[in-house]
Amino acid sequence: MKESLETAAPVSGTTSPWRGDFPVFAVTENGKPLVYLDSAASAQKPHQVLDAVRHFEAFEYANIHRGVYKLSETATARYGGARAAVRRFLNASDDREIVFVRGTTEAVNLVARSFARPRLAPGDEILITHLEHHSNIVPWQLLCAETGAELKVAPIDDRGVVDLEAFAGLLGPRTKFAAFAHVSNALGTVNPVREMTRLAHAQGVPVLVDGAQAVAHMPVDVQEIGCDFYAFSGHKLYGPSGIGALYGKLEHFEAMPPYQGGGDMIRSVSFSGTTFAPAPQKFEAGTPNIGGAVGLGAAIEYVEAIGWEAIESHQRALQEHGEQVLASITGLRLIGTAPERVSLFSYVLEGVHPHDIGTFLAADNIAVRSGHHCAQPVMERFGVPATTRASLGIYNTRGDLDALAAGLQRVKEFFAA
Ligand SMILES: *Cc1c(COP(=O)(O)O)cnc(C)c1O
C-alpha cells in the first residue's frame, strides 16, 4: 500500500468528534480517504492508546511480580492498574475476578477446559445459540467429542433473534453449561443476556457470555447480567490485539483447576507436588502480554472519558442513517434485522458475489469485510454462503455510510453492464 501523510479530505455529513484521535485517518490511499467499516473484525486505535503503550514499553517496562527494583515495581503496578480498569469497566466486584487472556477465544477455551470439562459426563448437554462466533462453538464441540456430551443449539428466527422459548425449552436436567454472545458479530443482534442468564440459572446452569462484540457498543455490568463468566478482546475496544479479559465469579475461579502450567501461576513447586497461586495468577501462566494489558487499560480509560451516552447516541445516529441509505439500494437484502441491534450491517446484493463487492469497494479505499464472519451456521441459516459486512466504530461518520452507498451503486452498475 502506498501511504501518503496528507490529511484526509473532510468527509461530508456529520463528523465524529473522535475521528481526529485516530492517526490512521490522516493517511490516504491514492488521494482517497480511508472509509473504515470493519470495526467488528478489529477496531482502529486512538493515539491515547498508542502513546500509553509506547510510554510504558519505553520507560516503565520490566517483567512483573518478581522484581524488587523500581522498574519492575512500576510495571507490576501498571499491570495491576489495567486489571482494576477492567474490573471497573465490567462492574465486577473484585480485581481477583479478572483474568488477562489473549482474547475472547482463549477465554472461552479456558472456561471450557477448566470449568466445564470436569463437570461433563456422557449424555450431558451444553447449550449455545445459532448465532455464535466460531470461537464460541468449536471449543464446545471439542469438549463434547472428548466427554461424550452433546451440543444443543437454540434456534434464531428470520430476523436473527434468538427464540427465547426454545432456549428455555432446551435447558434441562442434562444441561451442564450455557454459552451465548451478548452481541452477534454477523448480524448485530443484541441478545437479552440478563434474561437468558436468569433462565439458565433457574435450571442451575452456569453461563458464559461472549462479550467480544458488545464492549465497544454499550456499558456492561456483569453483576446486573448475573453471568458466571464474561469474555472480551482488547482489539475490538480500540485497544491492542493479543490481550483480552475473562471475568469469572470469584467462587468459580477459586474452585477451578489451572488452565496452563508454568511460571507465575504457582505458590511453590517441588517434585513431590506443586501448589498454585490464588486467582487470578493461577490462570496467568508465564510472562503475560504486559504492554497489551496497559494498552487495554488505556482503551478503557479512553472510552470512559468519552462516556457511554455520547458513544451510544453517535452509534444510534449512524445506525439510522445506515439503514436509510442501504434501504435506498434496490436488490440489497439486509441479513439480520433484529429490533435490538448495534451499528453493523450484513447484506447481500442481488447478482453480485460478496467477495466482488469487497474487492470493488477496496479500490475506493472503503474497508468492508466479505465472508462468513466466523459464523458459518448463521450464513447457512439465511441460505447465503457469505455476506458483506459494514461495521461501525466511534470514528465513523454519515459520510462514510454515504460513501458506502455510492460505492454499492457503482458495484451494481458495473455488474449490470
Ligand atoms: C471477534 C469475536 C470473537 C473472537 O475474538 P478474538 O479476539 O478473535 O479471540 C468471539 N466472539 C465474537 C462475537 C466476536 O466478534
Indicate if 374 belongs to the active site.
yes
pLDDT band at 264 (very low <50, low <70, confident <90, very high): confident
Contact (CB, 8 A) for 299 and 234: yes
The gap from C-alpha 124 to its chain's centroid, in whole angstroms, comes to 28
Is the pTM higher than 0.75? yes
Query: For residue 264, what is its C-alpha cell?
Result: 507465575
Alpha carbon separation from 75 to 58, 64, 86, 239, 253 (Å, rounded): 11, 6, 17, 18, 25
Ligand 1 atom with the smallest distance to the CA of 183 is 13
Mutate to test the pocket of ligand 1, among 374, 376, 378, 391 (most ligand atoms within 8 A of CB): 374
For 198, how many CA atoms within 13 A lie in the half-sphere containing its CB?
8
The CATH 3.40.640.10 portion of the chain extends over 50-305
Q: Which of 346, 351, 349, 336 is nearest to 371 (CA)?
A: 346
Contact status, residue 110 vs residue 99, Cβ threshold 8 Å: yes
What does the DSSP 8-state code read for residue 374?
A: T
- What is the dotted CATH code of the domain comprising 50-305? 3.40.640.10
- Three cell numbers written together for 85: 480498569
Pocket of ligand 1 (CB under 6 A): 103-105, 133, 135-136, 181, 185, 210, 212-213, 233
For atom 2 of ligand 1, the residue with the nearest CA is: 212
Compute the distance from residue 280 Cα to the ligand 1 centre, in Å.
Answer: 22
Q: Which three cell numbers stand for residue 325?
A: 441509505
pLDDT tens string 30-76:
999 999 999 999 999 999 999 999 999 999 999 998 778 999 999 99
The whole-chain average pLDDT of the chain stands at: 94
What pLDDT score was predicted for residue 9? 41
Residue 233 Cα to ligand 1 midpoint, Å, equals 7
Four-residue CA torsion sign, 253, 294, 85, 136? negative
CATH 3.90.1150.10 residue ranges for the chain = 19-33+307-416
Please report which confidence band the pLDDT of residue 1 belongs to, taking 50, 70 and 90 as the band edges.
very low
Pairing of strands 332-334, 207-210: unpaired
**Among the atoms of ligand 1, which is closest to the Cα of residue 184?**
13
> How many helices, marked H, and strands, marked E, lie in the chain?
13, 15
**Smallest CA separation from ligand 1 atom 14, residue:** 212
DSSP string, 105-160: HHHHHHIIIIIIGGG--TT-EEEEETT--GGGTHHHHHHHHHHT-EEEEE-B-TTS
Q: How far is the CA of 115 from the centre of ligand 1 (A)?
A: 20
Q: Considering 151, 164, 306, 374, which one is annotated as catalytic?
A: 374
Which of 132, 133, 243, 373 best tests ligand 1's pocket when mutated (most atoms within 8 Å of CB)? 133
For the stretch 398-414, pLDDT in tens is: 999 999 999 999 999 99
Q: Phi and psi dihedrals of 348, rounded to 5?
A: -125, 150
Ligand 1: which atom is nearest the Cα of residue 105? 9
- Given the C-alpha cell 482489539, which residue does it identify? 235
Q: Which atom of ligand 1 lies closest to the CA of 241?
A: 7
Tens-place pLDDT, residues 273-297: 899 999 999 999 999 999 999 999 9
CA of 102, closest atom in ligand 1: 9
4 has pLDDT over 50: no
The pLDDT, as a whole number, for residue 15 is: 87
| Exposure b/e, 97-130, CB count within 10 A at least 16 = b | bbbbbbbbbbbbbbbbbbbbbeebeeebbbbbbb
CA of 208 to the centre of ligand 1 (A): 14
19-33+307-416: which CATH number, 3.40.50.150, 3.90.1150.10, 3.30.2090.10, 3.30.43.10?
A: 3.90.1150.10
400 SS3 class: helix
Residue 72 has which C-alpha cell?
519492575
Q: Distance, CA 159 to ligand 1 centroid (Å)?
A: 22
Q: Which of 295, 288, 303 is nearest to 240 (CA)?
A: 295
For ligand 1, the distance from its centroid to the CA atom of residue 242, given in whole angstroms, is 12
Contacts of 347 (CB under 8 A, 6+ apart): 326, 332, 333, 334, 335, 387, 388, 389, 390
Model confidence at 10: pLDDT above 60: no
